[in-house]
Amino acid sequence: MIIIGAMAISCSDKMTKNTASWPTATAPIAEKKMHNRIIHGDTIADDYYWMNDYFKKGPDSAEVIAYLEAENSYTSAMLQDTEKFQEVLFHEMKGRIKEKDESVPYLKNGYYYYSRTEEGKQYYKFCRKKGSLDAPEEILLDVDDMAEGYAYYAASGFSISPDNKLLAFGVDTVSRREYTIYVKNLETGELLPDKIDRTSGGTTWANDNKTLFYTAKNPVTLLSEKIRRYTLGLGAGGDVVVYEEKDNTNYIGVGKSKNGKHIMIYSGGTLSSEVHLLDADHPNGVFKVFQPRMKEVLYSVTALADRFLILTNDGAKNFQVMECPLDKTDKEHWKEFIPHREDVLVSDIDEFKDYIVISERKNGLTQMAVRSLKDGHQHYLDFGEAAYTVYPSTNVEYNTDMVRYGYTSLVTPSSTFDYNMNTKEKTLRKQQEIVGGYDADHYVTERLFATVADGTQVPISLVYKKGFPKNGNSPLLLYGYGSYGMSMDPTFNSSRLSLLDRGFAYAIAHIRGGEEMGRQWYEDGKMMNKKNTFTDFIDCANYLISQKYTSSDHLYAQGGSAGGLLMGAVINMAPELWNGVIAQVPFVDVVNTMLDETIPLTTNEYDEWGNPNEQAAYAYMKSYSPYENIEAKAYPNLLVTTGLHDSQVQYFEPAKWVAKLREIKQGNQVILFKTDMSYGHGGASGRFDYLKDVALNYAFLFKLEGITE
């Protein structure tokens, strides 16, 4: 039952820290149904537990949908006066995108591959040309046509057979990240009758051109549990399990070495990993373990012509590179190749016949080193900006001296370079074109450091338009994530110009829980150190206020998924700091989710958050979980978004959170909750549709700032 008439907000009400004038509308109040969680002698009432029922197909399923739809109607009513502005913003942002465009072609096994988009189309064509860019074009997949009639459509995992005749690809039409694999004959244009359901979407070809390896998913938990070998033409009889992961805290996947010699299975969690190898010429053989998993040791393997390189944190917190012979891979044969450094995190290796390219992090910034395999000489690429992001791009060829990399910053559009590792010459192959013009000189980017409560220096990347007044009265949007060791590097976003051009500054707080400052940065923001993530973000906000970039009357925060947990935590801990907060697909019901092993990803996350079946972990996560810590106090204005089909953070987490906030909070600040009934964790699949969500977010911020055009 959805109670109507229980709460109304009038534009005549006085609202603290809110310059917006809201229309009269009635907020939905969800029914409370008694449910107790009892664990470790602790009894907690969870009156909105019934909202889990839609995917469990319980008796309250219809009521769940009714509640979500009522919230959508309320959000639409509250933002009705911004609808024309949202349209303006959508077309403004869409207008910056070059509709007819083409990716930079890459060479693989004699063909140049690329994708191209057409004017007015949401998706793309995946194409190739044989031997030369002047050769006739083959359209391998017309995703625009394939997506016709679907609200959501994702094609991924494109994998060409070694003889260039077959294409395997995955399709998801629900947005649950559960793909069906198809195989297309590129000579006839026909789809083969072979079809594989419930996969991660990617495939790896053996060298016989008929055997595929893929990752199979559990239909309930969506965990990647098995690697299977599929032989074309044999149907179910040719589908064989070659690896089954017994540890449900690990993710698994399968791939192929760049030199084409090895099929590799990777199994890894937060703390340990393991690799298995198979000769790609003998797909029916038995996988051999490279090195049995070791407690709290991560390693990954790169295959060269004459040896393996091993990237590992064994005795090296920031990782080091080891080497071993091709036929002696266990740890006792590992020898140091690149030593551990306290101030440099080694994050990845790209291999080529005569070189390796090493991706690193130092002082919070990404960098790339090129090392000759002939003489060991190493040099770094230079980029020249204070805050930027660089990363290896599509590098599928092994026998080449050319490495492709991507480069961007808060003011530099995404750029693709080819770098000759021998001559040290770089060539700009493409820079993202901003239709209508863009001048980076009109914008300013800064790199700041905030001293947080325990004395740690936390980086902040900041961008604004020239002329931005630092008088404490300007609006600023602070973004954060801070989980899984994922670094939120500064990148360009053409949509963000609509925010900056209307007077906002935009900042990224590089808080602990990411890996910007090295592996310790991650470890200091997870498990029993998780609260550092939240206090870092709050201290970064206070620093920006102290430096007059903004004030609490004009400060806004945004985060999604685990960043949505961040949003929920900081508004419990420091609600007075923010005028408005956007929480996207927020992970806010930490304890209940981590207790439910039927929910996708739960067991994979124990080494990130802890296992609440253990009392100490339960008590700690309960002390910060946003849903558990709502209090009778004034909260900032909130816009909360989710997707009904979200496989990463289930829709019911934000639904329960919003319902409980409405019940308990004080004050007249608004809570708006929008569920996309067709999409999942990543939102819309089309290249323009997602801009409608961006326009909604911006309209919410602009309304709070009194910006109407």
The residue annotated as part of the active site, out of 561, 625, 647, 685, is 561
Task: Look up 681 and say whether it is catalytic.
Answer: yes
Helix (H) or strand (E) holding 696: helix 690-705
Beta strands 166-172; 262-268: pairing state: unpaired
**Encoded tokens for 583:** 């929480």
β-strand pairing of 2-3 with 211-217: unpaired
> Whole-angstrom Cα distance, residue 196 to residue 547?
56
Closest to 63 measured CA to CA, from 104, 149, 2: 2
Task: Kindly state the tokens that stand for 488.
Answer: 């939120």
> Does the annotation mark 561 as catalytic?
yes
Q: Are 372 and 348 in contact (CB under 8 A)?
A: no
Q: Which residues pair with 203 in a beta bridge?
A: 214
Closest C-alpha among 616, 638, 665, 593 to residue 46: 593
Structural tokens at position 314: 């064994």
Give DSSP secondary structure letters for 565-579: HHHHHHHHH-GGG-S
DSSP 544-562: HHHTTS--TTSEEEEEETH
DSSP for 447-480, please give it.
EEEEE-TTS-EEEEEEEEETT---SS-S-EEEE-
Judging by DSSP bridges, how do beta strands 637-643 and 580-584 pair with one another? parallel
CA 461 to chain centroid, in Å, comes to: 19
Catalytic position from the list 60, 589, 681, 689? 681
Distance, in Å, from the CA atom of 160 to the CA atom of 382, rounded to the nearest integer, reads 35
The residue type at 239: D
Q: Which of 524, 646, 676, 689 is catalytic?
A: 646
E strands present in 49-153: 101-102, 106-108, 111-117, 125-130, 137-142
Q: How far is CA 700 from CA 67, 85, 551, 604, 675, in A?
A: 22, 10, 18, 35, 16
How does DSSP classify residue 260?
Answer: S
Residue owning tokens 């299977």:
228
Burial class (CB in 10 A: 0-12, 13-18, 19+), 133: exposed
Q: Catalytic positions, please? A: 561, 646, 681
